[in-house]
């Protein structure tokens, strides 16, 4: 067995201050892309895709909104909880320099993992292998209003894309 570690590529923008005010698009994936947060069905009603949120899905949504309470001057602009990942937009505003994005995402992952573990122990949630979330996360600095609108559209249409890619229609 080798003691060599896989070198991970740093996707953060070199020299950028992630505590600055602005918008950030974040994606966090479950470990092994396990489908933990409900199902998405192909029942399309108007422009709305009907899914089947489960208890873990509801728990994730609760902690997304808790970010706003934990980090004043931080707002969750929009989000979608998929079976194996979560997309959300964090908008940081205010006169003070707030917490870096990395701290916010780390806190969110810790809180959701802790609550999920409690749910597993109480027989409410299914167990997971080693980690609830993948290491790290994807982020994109939102540069302007057009960029924000495109990201919002991506988030809103992500369930439909999921159905199409999984041929559930």
Question: Which CATH number do you get for residue 115?
Answer: 3.30.70.1290
Residue 72 lies in a domain: yes
Residue 160: how many other CB atoms lie within 10 Å: 16
DSSP code at position 2: -
Taking only the tens of pLDDT, the chain with its 169 residues reads: 444 544 555 555 566 666 778 899 999 999 999 999 988 876 555 434 556 678 999 999 999 999 999 998 899 999 999 999 999 999 998 765 677 899 999 999 999 999 999 999 999 999 988 999 999 999 999 999 999 999 999 999 998 888 777 765 4
Give one DSSP letter per residue of 8-44, joined into a string: PPP-S-TT--TTSSEEEEEEEEBGGG---S-EEEEEE
The answer to whether 89 and 153 are in contact (CB under 8 A) is no
Residue 8 lies in a domain: no
| Domain count for the chain | 1
| pTM: predicted TM-score of the whole model, two decimal places | 0.84
Residue 5 lies in a domain: no
Residue 145 lies in a domain: yes
Residue 7 lies in a domain: no
Residue 169 lies in a domain: no
Enumerate long-range contacts of 115-119, CB under 8 Å, 24 or more apart.
115/59, 115/63, 116/56, 116/59, 119/55, 119/56, 119/59
Distances (CA, A) of 105 to 32, 58, 66, 97, 140: 19, 18, 12, 17, 13
What was the pLDDT predicted at 169?
46
Range of the structural domain that residue 70 is part of: 22-163
Q: At what angle do helices 55-70 and 101-121 cross, to 10 degrees?
A: 140
Residue 71 lies in a domain: yes
What was the pLDDT predicted at 165?
77
What was the pLDDT predicted at 6?
47
**What span, in angstroms and rounded, lies between the C-alpha atoms of 43 and 121?**
33
**What span, in angstroms and rounded, lies between the C-alpha atoms of 79 and 57?**
12
What was the pLDDT predicted at 47?
39
Residue 76 lies in a domain: yes
């Amino acid at each position: 067995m080798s003691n060599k570690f896989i070198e991970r590529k740093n996707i953060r923008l070199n020299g950028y201050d992630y505590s600055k005010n602005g918008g950030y698009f974040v994606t966090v994936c479950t470990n092994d892309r396990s489908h933990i947060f409900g199902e998405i069905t192909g029942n399309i009603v108007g422009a709305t895709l009907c899914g089947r949120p489960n208890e873990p899905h509801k728990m994730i949504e609760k902690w997304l909104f808790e970010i706003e309470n934990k980090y004043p001057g931080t707002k969750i602009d929009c989000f979608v909880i998929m079976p194996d990942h979560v997309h959300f937009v964090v908008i940081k505003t205010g006169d003070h320099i707030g917490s870096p994005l990395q701290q916010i995402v780390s806190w969110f992952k810790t809180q959701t993992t802790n609550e999920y573990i409690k749910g597993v122990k109480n027989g409410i949630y299914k167990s997971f292998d080693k980690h609830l979330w993948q290491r790290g996360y994807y982020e994109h600095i939102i540069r302007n209003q057009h960029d924000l609108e495109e990201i919002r559209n991506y988030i809103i249409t992500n369930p439909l894309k999921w159905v199409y890619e999984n041929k559930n229609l």
